[in-house]
């Protein structure tokens, strides 16, 4: 039997089991992650985050992310904020800004003096190889793409990658958006072979949106960091949100502030908290 030390953390209610893989051996296992993610019979979390040493020069850590269904994914924004808090609290680093390698590039989370965390999330991508989306001949993935959802109505959505794939739709009233139905339908849609995170965005004004996200491999969460970045990038490209200004993204779990303009990196600021630390025998 092995013992695994972990921290339970959250960023606006998007919750994580965080494991230090630099000082203890841990081989991620899909079945175990599903079991531990269960909110009734396990620890309960949306994602498991694994901190590993990096082999790359100038990079402090490697950051791996697993959804509650056990699938390994490329990026997690709320997790990135918890990551910098975790390595600080665990004494793994005394830097206020750390350089972290993910499956899709480098991100730089910085712990601010007020306790919030700002993350340089890198540039959004819009090309089909970055947004796993099946095109019909003659179609292009740009700021807007038009698709038909099986068995439901058609929808116009922005398709982009923040390292992980996102589809963002505009709605008039996010409280009554078909998050579960459309989120579930798009996971199985033939146009998204690697599934997709689905965002429903209501514009309040050009520096304030309301957002709900149905996450791939997890379902609707209280907040999604990369989903918030994807929504603001989409809103700026549509000319509905202020370019280069901090946009307030109101999520069920609280607020994130995101800024972006064409050609720049996406910056995200928000909280990260530890709930408890524990040990698990498995
Ligand atoms: N909650 C996250 C995103 C986690 C990964 C996502 N479900 C995926 O499958 O890509 C965030 O805060 O960004």
* Ligand 1 proximal residues by C-beta, below 6 Å: 14, 46-47, 65, 67, 73, 76-79, 164, 197, 215-218, 221, 224-226
Q: What is the per-residue pLDDT across 54-63, written as a single tens digit (0 to 9) for each?
A: 999 999 999 9
Integer Cα distance of 121 and 166 in angstroms = 14
- Fold for domain 145-264? Diaminopimelate Epimerase; Chain A, domain 1 (3.10.310)
What pLDDT was estimated at residue 150?
A: 58
76, 162, 192, 269, best to mutate for ligand 1 pocket (most atoms within 8 Å of CB)? 76
Of the pLDDT bands very low, low, confident and very high (cuts 50, 70, 90), residue 188 is: confident
Q: Which of 104, 103, 145, 144 is nearest to 123 (CA)?
A: 104
Which secondary structure element, helix H or strand E, spans residue 63, and what is its range? Answer: strand 61-67
9, 47, 162, best to mutate for ligand 1 pocket (most atoms within 8 Å of CB)? 47
CATH 3.10.310.10 residue ranges of the chain are 3-118+271-281, 145-264
Integer Cα distance of 106 and 59 in angstroms = 8
Contact call for residues 212 and 174 (beta carbons, < 8 A): yes
Q: What is the per-residue pLDDT across 126-136, written as a single tens digit (0 to 9) for each?
A: 877 777 777 76
From 12, 76, 171, 233, active-site residue: 76
Whole-prediction pTM = 0.95
- Fold for domain 3-118+271-281? Diaminopimelate Epimerase; Chain A, domain 1 (3.10.310)
Place of tokens 């957002």: 211
Tokens found for residue 58: 């100038």
Q: What is the per-residue pLDDT across 2-55, written as a single tens digit (0 to 9) for each?
A: 999 999 999 999 999 999 999 999 999 999 999 999 999 999 999 999 999 999
How far is residue 182 from each of residues 18, 191, 214, 225, measured CA to CA in Å? 30, 14, 9, 20
């Amino acid at each position: 039997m092995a013992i695994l030390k972990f921290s339970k953390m959250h960023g606006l209610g998007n919750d994580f089991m965080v494991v230090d893989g630099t000082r203890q051996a841990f081989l991620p296992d899909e079945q175990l992650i599903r079991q531990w993610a269960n909110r009734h019979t396990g620890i309960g979390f949306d994602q498991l985050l694994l901190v590993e040493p990096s082999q790359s020069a100038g990079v402090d850590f490697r950051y791996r992310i697993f959804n509650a269904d056990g699938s390994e994914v490329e990026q997690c924004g709320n997790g990135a904020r918890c990551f910098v808090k975790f390595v600080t609290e665990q004494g793994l680093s005394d830097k206020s800004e750390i350089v972290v390698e993910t499956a899709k590039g480098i991100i730089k989370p910085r712990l601010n003096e007020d306790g919030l965390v700002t993350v340089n999330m890198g540039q959004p991508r819009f090309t089909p190889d970055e947004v796993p989306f099946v095109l019909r001949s003659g179609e292009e993935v740009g700021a807007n793409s038009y698709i038909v959802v099986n068995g439901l109505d058609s929808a116009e959505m922005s398709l982009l990658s923040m390292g992980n794939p996102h589809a963002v739709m505009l709605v008039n009233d996010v409280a009554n958006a078909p998050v579960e139905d459309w989120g579930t339908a798009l996971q199985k849609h033939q146009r998204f072979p690697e599934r997709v995170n689905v965002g429903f965005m209501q514009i309040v004004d050009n520096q304030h949106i309301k957002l709900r996200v149905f996450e791939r491999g997890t379902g609707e969460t209280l907040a999604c960091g990369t989903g918030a970045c994807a929504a603001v990038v989409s809103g700026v490209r549509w000319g509905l949100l202020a370019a280069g200004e901090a946009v307030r993204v109101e999520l069920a779990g609280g607020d994130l502030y995101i800024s972006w303009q064409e050609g720049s990196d996406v910056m995200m600021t928000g909280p990260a908290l530890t709930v408890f630390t524990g040990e698990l025998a498995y």
